[in-house]
Amino acid sequence: MLRRTEDIIAYAIEKKVPDTLTFVKSTFRPDFNMETLEDKRKQAVSQNTKTNLDLYFQIDDYIKCKTGKVSPTTIGVYGTMKSQLASFQDYRKAPITFDNLDYNFYETFVDYLTHEYVQARRKKLTKGLKLATIGKTIKQLRIFIKDRVRRKIVPPIDLSDFKILDEESDAVYLNWEEINKVFQV
């Protein structure tokens, strides 16, 4: 049985089966007939090509891949990007797919985030996000899409027009009373 397992592994490596371990687990049986190995490989390849191309499934998969490799705050940023895309999908009443990620999508998405997006967890109804926040969402969307292209899940997508927006921030973190207290010390 050990020899049969080694033969299956060697065959999978030689034929460049995408997920060797899964292939071996699904193929090996004590009574396995080695003559049916090519049929099993074709079956595994055809199952592998039926990748779920739903954008939100892929975002969840991306988050799962990144969990433990990046900080929990970054995972939260990915979740925020997903919720903003879902909100935009509801707003435009059309599903977002990898096929419609083009410059028109980018323009309407940025316009939506700038003027129509309703911010959650606010006591007062607030529409629109700041430019730097929109830029962070676009940046994460680009990184996510490039990851999916790199993994050959989706065909290459032209992201050259997906500009990462930014602005100078002039946030004051201390009020004058606090500054005076620091000065007195």
Give yes or no for residue 116 having a pLDDT over 80: yes
pLDDT by residue (tens digit) across 162-176? 998 877 777 667 888
Q: Is residue 84 a contact partner of residue 137, using CB atoms and an 8 Å limit?
A: yes
Q: Is residue 144 a contact partner of residue 75, using CB atoms and an 8 Å limit?
A: no
More confident of the two residues 120 and 78: 78
pTM of this prediction exceeds 0.85 = no
CA torsion through residues 93, 95, 100, 106, sign: positive
C-alpha 33/C-alpha 41 separation (Å) is: 13
C-alpha 141/C-alpha 29 separation (Å) is: 43
pLDDT at 117: 93
